[in-house]
């Protein structure tokens, strides 16, 4: 029973792993379809300019990375479930079941 639960937990955790395709779903942009460099630079600057505690401006790179919130939340949930199963099995062993 514990092995089946562990296998199910691993399969559920793997559901949160992103796909690792080598090719994108969209065709590559050509030079004619790309936005002008000045427009892209202005947008990137507007998005990435922040101030730190001293009031100086810091430039952050706009990497376009995906939102990782679901992965962090899912990993935390499954880690908690796994820790709960370990605690439950240790408790049962100490009680002699």
Kindly state the greatest CA–CA separation across the chain: 73
**Residue ranges making up the domain that contains 91:** 68-97
**Residue 19 belongs to a domain:** no
In a domain, 89, yes or no: yes
pLDDT mean by block of 10 residues, the chain; 97 residues: 89 76 60 55 54 58 77 95 95 84
pLDDT at 65: 75
pTM above 0.85, yes or no: no
For residues 52 and 59, give the distance between their C-alpha atoms in angstroms, rounded to a whole number: 10
Total domains, the chain: 1
β-strand partners of 59:
49
Q: What is the pLDDT of residue 14?
A: 83
Q: Is 92 helix (H, G, I), strand (E, B) or coil?
A: helix
Cβ atoms within 10 Å of 24's Cβ, excluding its own: 7
d(CA 6, CA 8): 5
């Amino acid at each position: 029973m514990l092995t089946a639960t562990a296998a199910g937990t691993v399969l559920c955790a793997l559901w949160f792993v992103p796909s690792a395709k080598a090719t994108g779903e969209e065709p590559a942009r050509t030079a004619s379809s790309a936005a002008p460099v000045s427009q892209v630079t202005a947008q990137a600057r507007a998005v990435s300019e922040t101030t730190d505690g001293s009031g100086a401006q810091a430039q952050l790179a706009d990497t376009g990375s995906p939102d990782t919130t679901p992965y962090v939340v899912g990993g935390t949930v499954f880690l908690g479930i796994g820790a709960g199963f370990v605690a439950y099995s240790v408790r049962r062993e100490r009680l002699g079941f």
